[in-house]
Structure 1
Amino acid sequence: MSWIRDYVDIDIDVNQLADALTMSGLEVEGMTDRYDYLDGVVVGKIIDISPHPNADKLTVCNVETGGGVRSIVCGASNIRADNLVPVALPGTKLPSGMVIQEASIRGEMSYGMLCSDAELGLAETSDGILTLSGSLEPGTGIKKALNLTDMVFDIDLTPNRSDCLSFLGIAREIVPIVKKKLKYPDVRLPAGNGPIAGHASVTIEAPDHCLRYAARIISGVKCGPSPHWLSDRLKSVGLRSVNNVVDVTNFVLMEYGQPLHAFDLDRLDEHRIVVRTASHGEHFTTLDGVDRVLASDMLVICDGTKPVALGGIMGGLDSEIRTDSRNVLIESAYFDPAGIRRTARRLGLKSESSHRFERGVDPEGVITALDRAAQLILETAGGSLATGVIDEYPRPCTQEVIQLSVPEANRLLGTELSSQQMSGYLASIELDVRDCNDDRIEVIPPTFRVDLERPVDLIEEIARLAGYNHISTTYPVASVISKKPNPRLAYRNNLFDALVGCGFSQIITYSFISPKSADQLSLASQDSRRRTVQILNPLTEDQAVMRTSLIPGLFATMVHNQNLKNEDLRIFELGKVFFHTENDSLPDEVEMISGLWTGSRQPESWHGSGTRVD
């Protein structure tokens, strides 16, 4: 929640917020405290320190922890008597995986561990034991002492809400709940050091797969460890820190929901980016070290000579950012969701980037996220920014106006909302309300809401923002009109009942049969049942045509049962058969009924085995 609070002021309890989000359509499945691992760490006051009798670099500390004084062996040199320090009690599991236990260290028993801020997961590095300030009572939980409270929401998103795969997206949903304004990051970039055109170029050869590709270049960066605030933010969402440049791209991914990729510009041949589809059988080694064989419909990002990334999924080994990288090209793009989904599934390769591209990102947010990444890289890794941005956008997207009928919306919802109330709800989530009167509202949805296409989509938004619990329950009102029985339906039901009464069981078989069925039935060459309808994409060769008779299905069922030693069989099928017609029109569909009886006429009894029908 600390990350979300950067974008919206939240003044309600987290449980209230979780309930409100769930009622608005974002189901909060659970909440966890990201600092719950510190439950076993308390404030301790060092009473006295004495040298360890068997180790020159160790000391033995008597520490008051609220439940009495305990002896703890420590190797740090920065501790003093009367210091307040964090003490991990036995049974505590630290972020490193170490479980604190009572142990004998060089012959002296130690009943806990004095901790540094790094050992508590509160810093990347430390110079010694963390010294606490203030008037803290020994035994106070370290979470309370340091005010460490940060709840993590586990939200179950439906696939259509790709806009909520980011902190800004979730914050946008919180805005109408808390009645506050959304605070976007303040992105300001310095003047560049020369036109970007002289540094690199971008060519899109597959415009159906890549609808937009933008890039910025930063020269003279210094790759290294990320500052604590950056690595801690990534850690809070389960991402590991790599280096400051890569961490920035992951940070912006989580902030805006826009996947980015950073290339080492000096490792891109000819300083070119070419977006194309792969050659059939082309090989490419991804960042995870796996050599992958590509198909001709898979999108690749190439330099002047070779692939350097699987578009929208994962980068390659040859152009990744390393500690000696100095010049960086940042990619921000919009790829076709269907193509990314198909490639990821066929290669068995899922990533945070592909997860978002598959569901659709904001094509108009490409540059905003790119600028944010450039700003943060300059802040954390230094360097100088090339002037301008490369932005290949062959077919800019447009949003259609949706006409919403106010009376129709109220009819479907069972409400009496005014057009002003409806437009207020829609505007609160950044929908562009162009025109509003008592009967009609004109709305242009933002490009980040790929799920809003029809009036009913807007009605759903109004319902969840107004609150489903505020919509009164009403019973449906319908007129009951008597209708004469259908003679054909009545005949079918009577026939069905008669067969069941005679001991027959109904079966349902596939409408697809083998082309050889006509020969197996010894049909004449002119028999109409040879006029089959061919299947363009049959499941198997034995299911390549539509049936013109129900008998092949009955025979197949009989053979299957006889193979299982079930020879006494009474079955029938009521279904349609299909006949090919001229001029490629739709096939003729005829409803038919067929039955099959095999085995004994009646069950075996003491009278005898009975006669067979076949």
Structure 2
Amino acid sequence: MKISLSWLKAHVNVEMDPQSLAGALTMAGLEVETVSDRFAYLENVAAARILEILPMKGSDSLKLCRADLGDREASVVCGAPNVAEGMICPLALPGAALPGGTVKAARIRKETSEGMLCSAAELGISDDHSGVMPLGDDIAPGRRLSEILSLSDMVFDIDITPNRPDCLNVLGIAREVAAMENKPLLRPGADASGKEMETSVFDLAEVSIKDPDLCPRYAARVLEGVTVGPSPFWLKDRLLSVGMKPVNNIVDVTNFVMMEMGQPLHAFDLDRLAGHAIVVKTAGKNKSFVTLDGVERALPEDALMICDAEKPVAIAGIMGGMNSEIEPSTTRVLIESAYFSSAGVRKISKALGLSTEASYRFERGGDPGATAAALERAAVLMLETAGGRLAKGAIDEFPQPFAEKKLSLGAKETNRLLGTGFSANEMARLLESIDFKVEKEENGDLTVTAPSFRPDIGRPVDLMEEIARLSGYDDIPASFPAISGQISPPVKQLDVRTKIKGLMKGFGFFETIHYSFVSAESCDLLGLDENDRRRDFVKILNPLSTQQAVMRTTLLHGMFETAARNISRGSKNLRLFEIGKVFRVFPNAPDPKAPGKPGEETLPEETETLLCFQTGARWERSWTLKETPCDFYDMKGAAEGLFKGLGVGDAQFTALPESHCAYVKPGHAAAVSINGQYMGLLGEVSPGVLEKYGIPGPAFILEMNAHSLAGAVPDTLKTEPLPKFPSVSRDITLILDKGMETGRILEAIREFQEPLMEGARILDVFDKSPIPEGKASVTFRITYRSLERTLEDEEATRVNRKIADRIMDQFKADLPA
């Protein structure tokens, strides 16, 4: 919202300089975004002495003037009748942004005009447009007009938060400034006594409200014999100062009062209202309406309309209609001042895509108490600017009066929460400075009545905030809470989560964050069985859309959608991960709609889950690297690296049964266990699932229970000294069935617990000729080391042969031919 300093000073004696005022308003919660001088354009207007006036060929009115600017001369084409040689007048130089437009150098009838000699109206400082504005003879040519006239009016552009509709007007800001400077607030006068004619308003018009929930109050006054025309300069200047365009005296008064008092008004041509009646009701089905901007709009059925006896004439709180607007021939005016439901105006404004200054204020909550005062103020101003006679009395339909909000405020509790030492009298003074009514109780507490223009005040803490704001946040002494010196250990789950994120980022994965709300059809896309527990959704009572109707039971849906979106935009090589909660209804939980004990509630089961996703190339192609597609072992390597980074040992990867392969490819997936406890799965995503999400090519996932994983992370790490003696490696090559899980053999080797064995890993797998069909040659490399001495070759060979024999016996393996 824009407000000019000159208008503000009409309601409070401001002593602060503009920059200090901007800072004070910002600290009071009214953030000033910019401060600018609306007469800054006068810097580009200079005093010029007319040296010579020459006639222009082919024109009786235009003259070519040679003007002295002090440091140079300029030629200007001018048509003003009063321009004369020796006269000193304002010359707008090229680039000057005057209210009527930007001045440019131009060629007129083959003569160059280097600016424009201006009238006071063209300069925007009065409404005199009779001729060039004369300046004093003692003014030196070249001086800037801003310096000569000492004309300046700072304009503050203030960002008003939605909870402060009381500050969407000059009077509201002035109230805040008056409280800051401890000055009286100068309220606008609005006394129509002695200006009314004998005819009653009830003889000229009538008002009925059919929907009081949407329109709790509607007031109206009537003027006769008005003359519609241009507004006086002071009124136009006020509107221009806040960025509003003057229209005519009647419309300008309604806009002026709205900006001054915050109450939107509307003026109807009474003679264009059928039956001279106002009926406030909803539109009904299949109705349209042409608004003042000339657009025909289809109306929602529940749109609140201002109607006459036959037809709609305005959309309540938003915009009037073409069929009742003020015209030059209008002589009788009905002024509307109403209070409309903020929710109702907001709903229809959004539905129509139509936002106005009026709807902007009504949406944030109007002031039911300002309806009559604003109506009176507008009526008096219309009499002053348009003449006419004011009908006696005012129509004021008020079917739903508003109860005052009274709150009890404890002085001790206020000081405890704010960390201040205010007395009850100081608190009362601060609240009364912004028009709160305060009564002091015998126990020292305060009973505070919030004014009707403060819909945001509903609890005692709101009053405490007002006290802190008005006293100055900077003046509240800094204090520190009394806390125990005992330090609690960090929560293990949070610590492990942070480590997981750091490790995955180190492996080249990017973290993703998705909404916890998903579509109920997500499980169908993943191919989950009808009896799968992941179909036990927690339903959202009031979802934003069907795509966000339930809480997620797996992270897969969001991850696959993100992958598809990135791939569609050209990012085909993806490494993504997410760690977040999934939600499921507890098994055998009662129906939440079923009756139960008061206060009884079944909360959903929340499980923190880790999901990693990889697709595309293993690395980006370069002159040293060929583009190689990623595979199962890339994801398995990431899992092993994660376990190693977390200090988790004894991780097992075993074939995942086909019955558990809902969204992974059978035979290409593994169950992940740690110390015998199932953690999750690892594998290639089923091609059918990828096709549903529009993901081309193979993709691989690692899905684990992050909570269980955190439980497997040791609380303390054990260290071992660096070995003093060298290791010895031996290989064992065996012929195995292709269906044999090599992980089981490695696990068996470790379980042999040979004291000299340090580790075992798979070195090579070969399944081509001359290996028999259905068989594979697998080579294991086993490392041996003694902590006490250097091993002899024979000793390592003997232990290696012993292990080979045990493997061959246990797994029915053969040696190569």
TM-score (norm 2): 0.66
What runs of 5+ residues in structure 1 fail to find an aligned partner?
none
CA distance in 2, matches of 1:35, 1:590: 65
The aligned counterpart of 2:734 is none
The yes-or-no answer on 1:178 pairing with 2:188 is no
The yes-or-no answer on 1:276 pairing with 2:281 is yes
Spell out the pairing of 1:207-218 with structure 2 (5 A cutoff). Answer: 207-218=212-223
The aligned counterpart of 1:65 is 69
Distance 1:175 1:523, change over 3 A: closer
- Give 1:607's match in structure 2, choosing from 764, 776, 781: 764
- Give 1:578's match in structure 2, choosing from 582, 585, 602: 585
On the 8 A contact 1:570/1:597 being kept in 2, the answer is: no
Spell out the pairing of 1:42-441 with structure 2 (5 A cutoff). Answer: 42-52=46-56, 55-101=59-105, 103=106, 105-124=108-127, 126-133=129-136, 135-189=138-192, 190-435=195-440, 439-441=444-446
Over the residues paired in the alignment, what is the CA RMSD in angstroms? 4.0
Return 237-246 or 349-358, whichever deviates more: 237-246
The yes-or-no answer on 1:452 pairing with 2:457 is yes
Spell out the pairing of 1:423-502 with structure 2 (5 A cutoff). Answer: 423-435=428-440, 439-479=444-484
- Give 2:24's match in structure 1, choosing from 10, 13, 20: 20
CA distance in 2, matches of 1:248, 1:136: 38
CA distance in 1, matches of 2:493, 2:35: 60
| Number of residue equivalences | 602
The aligned counterpart of 2:612 is none
CA distance in 1, matches of 2:766, 2:513: 27
Return 395-404 or 361-370, whichever deviates more: 395-404
Task: Specify the SS of the correspondent of 1:275.
Answer: strand
Distance 1:199 1:104, change over 3 A: closer
Distance 1:589 1:196, change over 3 A: same
Please report how far the alpha carbon of residue 374 of structure 1 lies from its aligned counterpart in structure 2 after TM superposition: 0.4
Q: Report the AA paired with residue 115 of structure 1.
A: C
On the 8 A contact 2:264/2:361 being kept in 1, the answer is: yes
CA distance in 2, matches of 1:256, 1:7: 11
CA distance in 2, matches of 1:267, 1:74: 45
CA distance in 2, matches of 1:539, 1:457: 30
On the 8 A contact 1:259/1:353 being kept in 2, the answer is: yes
Distance 1:334 1:568, change over 3 A: closer
CA distance in 1, matches of 2:277, 2:217: 16
On the 8 A contact 2:519/2:548 being kept in 1, the answer is: yes
Please report how far the alpha carbon of residue 282 of structure 1 lies from its aligned counterpart in structure 2 after TM superposition: 1.3
| Residue-by-residue CA offset, 1:554-613 (whole Å, 9 max, x unaligned) | 6997899899899999999864421552524545634568733324999999834999xx
- Give 1:595's match in structure 2, choosing from 665, 668, 680: 680
On the 8 A contact 2:518/2:548 being kept in 1, the answer is: yes
On the 8 A contact 1:570/1:595 being kept in 2, the answer is: no
Distance 1:605 1:327, change over 3 A: farther
Return 158-167 or 462-471, whichever deviates more: 462-471
| Residue-by-residue CA offset, 1:476-519 (whole Å, 9 max, x unaligned) | 2223678899xxx9799999999x99999999885766489699
Q: Report the AA paired with residue 251 of structure 2.
A: V
Distance 1:200 1:573, change over 3 A: closer
On the 8 A contact 1:95/1:121 being kept in 2, the answer is: yes
On the 8 A contact 2:538/2:584 being kept in 1, the answer is: no
TM-score (norm 1): 0.86
Return 212-221 or 292-301, whichever deviates more: 292-301
Distance 1:299 1:54, change over 3 A: closer
CA distance in 1, matches of 2:493, 2:59: 100
CA distance in 2, matches of 1:343, 1:291: 15
Task: Specify the SS of the correspondent of 1:346.
Answer: helix
Task: Specify the SS of the correspondent of 1:409.
Answer: helix
Q: Report the AA paired with residue 682 of structure 2.
A: W
Higher relative contact order (CA 8 A, sep 6+): 1
Distance 1:341 1:109, change over 3 A: closer
Q: Report the AA paired with residue 279 of structure 1.
A: G
Q: Report the AA paired with residue 607 of structure 1.
A: D
Return 311-320 or 505-514, whichever deviates more: 505-514
Distance 1:605 1:380, change over 3 A: farther
| Residue-by-residue CA offset, 1:328-387 (whole Å, 9 max, x unaligned) | 110000000011111111111000000000111110110000001000111111111111
Task: Specify the SS of the correspondent of 2:218.
Answer: strand
Task: Specify the SS of the correspondent of 1:126.
Answer: coil
On the 8 A contact 1:93/1:100 being kept in 2, the answer is: no
CA distance in 2, matches of 1:508, 1:111: 62
Distance 1:275 1:574, change over 3 A: closer
Distance 1:493 1:119, change over 3 A: closer
CA distance in 1, matches of 2:196, 2:391: 8
Return 172-181 or 579-588, whichever deviates more: 579-588
| Residue-by-residue CA offset, 1:521-556 (whole Å, 9 max, x unaligned) | 5567xx999887766556676876678xx5x76699
On the 8 A contact 1:193/1:384 being kept in 2, the answer is: no
On the 8 A contact 2:514/2:558 being kept in 1, the answer is: no
On the 8 A contact 1:211/1:394 being kept in 2, the answer is: yes
CA distance in 2, matches of 1:491, 1:17: 50
Q: Report the AA paired with residue 240 of structure 2.
A: K
What runs of 5+ residues in structure 2 fail to find an aligned partner?
610-678, 685-699, 701-740, 744-760, 768-775, 777-817
On the 8 A contact 1:24/1:465 being kept in 2, the answer is: yes
Please report how far the alpha carbon of residue 261 of structure 1 lies from its aligned counterpart in structure 2 after TM superposition: 0.3
| Residue-by-residue CA offset, 1:234-265 (whole Å, 9 max, x unaligned) | 11111111111001000001000000000111
CA distance in 2, matches of 1:44, 1:497: 75
Please report how far the alpha carbon of residue 126 of structure 1 lies from its aligned counterpart in structure 2 after TM superposition: 1.1
On the 8 A contact 1:193/1:385 being kept in 2, the answer is: no
Task: Specify the SS of the correspondent of 2:314.
Answer: strand
Q: Report the AA paired with residue 242 of structure 1.
A: V
Return 585-594 or 198-207, whichever deviates more: 585-594
CA distance in 2, matches of 1:91, 1:433: 56
